[in-house]
Structure 1
Amino acid sequence: MEELLENSLLKHYYIISFLLNKDWMTIDRLAQEIKIPARTIRQDIGNINQYIAPAKIESSQRFGIRLTYDASHNPLYIYAAIYRQSTRFLILEELFLHRFSSMTQLAEELFISESTLKRHVLAINQVLEHEGFRIDTQTLDIVGDEKKIHFFYYCYFLERYWFIDAFLSQDELQLIDEIIADFSTHFPVLKSPRYQSFSFLNKLRTTVFICLTRNSRGHTFKDASLVKENDTFSPELRQKITRIYRINCSSFVFSHLFYLFFNSRNALTYQDLLVKARHNPVIHSIYQALSHFLDVTAASRKLKLANRDLVLLRLYNAIEYTWGPTKILYNPDEAFFMNMNKFEQTFIKQTKETLIAILRAEKIWKQIDEALITRLLFILVTSWDNLTIQLEEKAPKVRTGLFFNTSFEHSQFLLQELSYHMRSSLKPELMHVNTLAKLKAAAPHFDMIITNLPLLNLPNCYIVSIQPHPTPEDFDNILSVYNKIISAKTVKTSAS
């Protein structure tokens, strides 16, 4: 939903997104790729650098430009910086967090003119109405499909702030934690390590906060399942909720705050999913599609899926609780797949094609959302027991020879060093040759030769020259060559 950005920031977004995780690139090539004039890019670099610091777009007459940041930052920081520049996202945030009596009051809060505010609201609504909600200019409230509103702000707050501690008062944070702790007494499963992780609790805190805020404005999920009055919060906790959020904390509010659990289609366990699938045709269709997808994926590579039930359950719940676009500006799941080696990337590409084909065939998802597919693949890869190990075992072998012009002891040291750091990628071995002629004769039996000699010329073999003690750049070079070899072998295997 990057189209919510102002035009100038949208250009910045395209520039940053394309440069992310790439090396030096000429401005002319970038201009061709993102369809923005090179002159505009040159002008925008200075503006971008002002607000993403200490990250920076570096410029070089020789190499071009590249995006860099230090070890304490990552892309989340850079995209949060874009959010901070956007008046439109600030409007959406202010309308969610606060009440305004008039457009004039909101414009004054934002330090913009009322006419400028109206233009922004019109542009925002042109985007949001396609998603099922909008800004009501009379009530100055967000109205429409409550699930879509909730999911939008859920994605927004996690992308913009990473955790809600960044903008909530200590009283609100403490109250939300008390609400979650009280609720956990009704669901012992929430005491398990998976549900006690920071990530899960941060997301649960965020969704409870959104529900509390929306409920205080009179908005609720219409199909939340009611619970018994005596199964809700303690009287003391109800009083705190009423005092801070001005909510009459009924059993309906309780079920609304924890709609994720009281939704009739939620499945807490695999057995629960089986029961629901037997009684609900829609759930049955999703279950059948995911079962087929997992079976096809495992069989196509002859992989073992020991925890199939858990993986299927997690994929189902991800689909069930996706109520809109799963990315506004940045989805960390996308970055997860960027640094995989080529063999794993081939697996992901084929698996993605299978998933999309099955979802379309079963009509599970009318409009395939690229971010949702990425999310499902992320869940698949991270939940599948020993998947990476199985893929590595089936990866084409890269025979790697070591030939060093140094002492025997130093050669042994380098063998141990490279074997340790590259153990999951290749198995290096010392080449027992003592002349260059014998080296050339042995080279065709290897895919890669690592040496400390510069400009070593050997036929039909990749050469990587390293320092006397391997540097991070040396390991990057080795991995880059390894990926080229794996890619070529994978393509050759697929063709045959």
Structure 2
Amino acid sequence: MRDLLSKKSHRQLELLELLFEHKRWFHRSELAELLNCTERAVKDDLSHVKSAFPDLIFHSSTNGIRIINTDDSDIEMVYHHFFKHSTHFSILEFIFFNEGCQAESICKEFYISSSSLYRIISQINKVIKRQFQFEVSLTPVQIIGNERDIRYFFAQYFSEKYYFLEWPFENFSSEPLSQLLELVYKETSFPMNLSTHRMLKLLLVTNLYRIKFGHFMEVDKDSFNDQSLDFLMQAEGIEGVAQSFESEYNISLDEEVVCQLFVSYFQKMFFIDESLFMKCVKKDSYVEKSYHLLSDFIDQISVKYQIEMENRDNLIWHLHNTAHLYRQELFTEFILFDQKGNTIRNFQNIFPKFVSDIKKELSHYLETLEVCSSSMMVNHLSYTFITHTKHLVINLLQNQPKLKVLVMSNFDQYHAKFVAETLSYYCSNNFELEVWTELELSKESLEDSSYDIIISNFIIPPIENKRLIYSNNINTVSLIYLLNAMMFIRLDE
């Protein structure tokens, strides 16, 4: 979807991503090679992004250029900026909110000619069709195609373009939606939290706009759970919610509308409750197959990495649901900001082999069930496994062999012991800290020692396969940071 940005904006976004991700100096020549452009283009791009993002601090020197303040919020701000200043994305959003308008009104809104509009729409459709099954029509002005893809695309778009606390939907206030969702949570005991609640509101309000313009998803009766729909329509308090919908939205909350709002969660392969899932494992051959595939996968990972799966069935339930909500929950696929993919990559930097094994086995699971097994879907399912497995990170870290650390000081033994005790308290349990007890010291003796890391306040010549930390005054705060960082460097090897 990044091809919906102009070529220049696309390059500037990649430039900022490089500076944020690597947090180091870059020469213009290196950036030009990485971005496949000229040094002159890099110079112009740097000038533009410095002006566009005054809150970012760019540091230039003979070493090159880097971004100094790389708070997590800053990179999110970058994506919001490129969404906001993209003509293609802005036109798509305008059409979503104003279906049925005249093409001339779009031209007036964006100060473009009719020929330019048709050219832009042609470009939009060309890019969208590479990934999604829908297109924009100007005769009449509407968005047509696979309704699931349309609803997912725009819900994901709104989640990426707007900040978490923003609500850009003028026609639909959030209160009636919150009332409806709270009723669903109450009646189903569905586990709820802040982020899931916001996700559902974005999905439902997107569905409401599509319903308002007369676009409905085809519902396969064989895969639809009528009992869930009937249960909700008979829930105590539904009349009050329906009145709010009528007065606020001018929409009747009848069975058809409720079905369209919750069609993803009323499908038979989605289980709102873990106990219902476990019962279905015994009755439905497909669900049984899904369960046993995931069970075998978890057994393999558990044995290979010596991890005790405390929430085994709960984890399988979540994985099954995730696998059957393709393009029906946010972050399955991204538009510009691959936030979930970045999360997985960061975890993979720490535990590369583990994540590689997870992805391989989950890809096999998806392929065996003949559901979408794209790289983004595998990432999405891997994220569910990593975040929903109880105490996963703790178990993985505890299973790592401890790093042996030697602390030496040219002051006296008491100083070395003081530093070792302090580091032992503040650093993780993945280190064994000791002080040098021999009377003599040589480079050869250090080479032959079993220590992985050597900390000293005097200079030691480089030693192969040893990490040396020299600190003249042994700054404890800096050492804590360096030591913990070295643990993750070890895990990445």
For Structure 1 versus Structure 2, the TM-score category normalised by the shorter chain is 0.7 to 0.9
Asked if 1:26 is matched to 2:27, the reply is yes
Partner deviation per Cα, 1:111-160 (whole Å, 9 max, x = no partner) = 33333222221111112234111112123222211111111122211111
Partner deviation per Cα, 1:142-179 (whole Å, 9 max, x = no partner) = 22111111111222111111436342459702222222
Among 272, 276, 280, the residue aligned to 1:272: 276
The one-letter code matched in structure 2 to 1:267 is F
Specify the SS of the correspondent of 1:186: helix
Partner deviation per Cα, 1:241-284 (whole Å, 9 max, x = no partner) = 23333323211212222234322221123342344456656545
State the alpha-carbon separation in 1 of the partners of residues 434 and 171 from structure 2.
Answer: 58
Maintained 8 Å contact 2:453/2:468:
yes
State the alpha-carbon separation in 1 of the partners of residues 349 and 403 from structure 2.
Answer: 13
Asked if 1:470 is matched to 2:470, the reply is no
Other-structure match for 1:209: 205
Unaligned runs of 5+ in 2: none
State the alpha-carbon separation in 1 of the partners of residues 472 and 245 from structure 2.
Answer: 63
Asked if 1:355 is matched to 2:362, the reply is yes
Q: 1:433 to 1:343 in 2, by over 3 A?
A: farther
Q: 1:240 to 1:273 in 2, by over 3 A?
A: same
Aligned length: 480
Q: 1:472 to 1:148 in 2, by over 3 A?
A: farther
Other-structure match for 1:346: 353
Specify the SS of the correspondent of 1:392: helix
Maintained 8 Å contact 1:440/1:459:
no
Structural mapping, 1:42-81, within 5 Å: 42-62=43-63, 64-71=64-71, 73-81=73-81
Other-structure match for 2:104: 104
Unaligned runs of 5+ in 1: 489-496
Maintained 8 Å contact 2:402/2:430:
no
Other-structure match for 2:119: 119
Maintained 8 Å contact 2:207/2:260:
yes
Maintained 8 Å contact 1:80/1:161:
yes
State the alpha-carbon separation in 1 of the partners of residues 134 and 59 from structure 2.
Answer: 40
Other-structure match for 1:328: 335
Asked if 1:254 is matched to 2:255, the reply is no
Moved more, 393-402 or 47-56: 47-56
State the alpha-carbon separation in 2 of the partners of residues 49 and 392 from structure 1.
Answer: 40
The one-letter code matched in structure 2 to 1:48 is V
Q: With the length of structure 1 as denominator, give the TM-score of the two structures.
A: 0.86
State the alpha-carbon separation in 2 of the partners of residues 472 and 82 from structure 1.
Answer: 38
Specify the SS of the correspondent of 1:33: helix
Other-structure match for 1:241: 245
Specify the SS of the correspondent of 2:265: helix
The one-letter code matched in structure 2 to 1:347 is F
Other-structure match for 1:128: 128
State the alpha-carbon separation in 1 of the partners of residues 369 and 172 from structure 2.
Answer: 45
Identical counterparts, % of pairs: 20
Partner deviation per Cα, 1:307-332 (whole Å, 9 max, x = no partner) = 11111111121121112861111232
State the alpha-carbon separation in 2 of the partners of residues 177 and 383 from structure 1.
Answer: 26
Maintained 8 Å contact 1:20/1:67:
yes
The one-letter code matched in structure 1 to 2:341 is E
Other-structure match for 1:307: 311
Maintained 8 Å contact 1:164/1:205:
no
Among 424, 428, 435, the residue aligned to 1:430: 435
Q: 1:36 to 1:406 in 2, by over 3 A?
A: same
Deviation of 1:406 (Å) = 3.3
Q: 1:289 to 1:429 in 2, by over 3 A?
A: same
Deviation of 1:238 (Å) = 2.2
Q: With the length of structure 2 as denominator, give the TM-score of the two structures.
A: 0.87
The alignment yields a C-alpha RMSD, in angstroms, of: 3.0
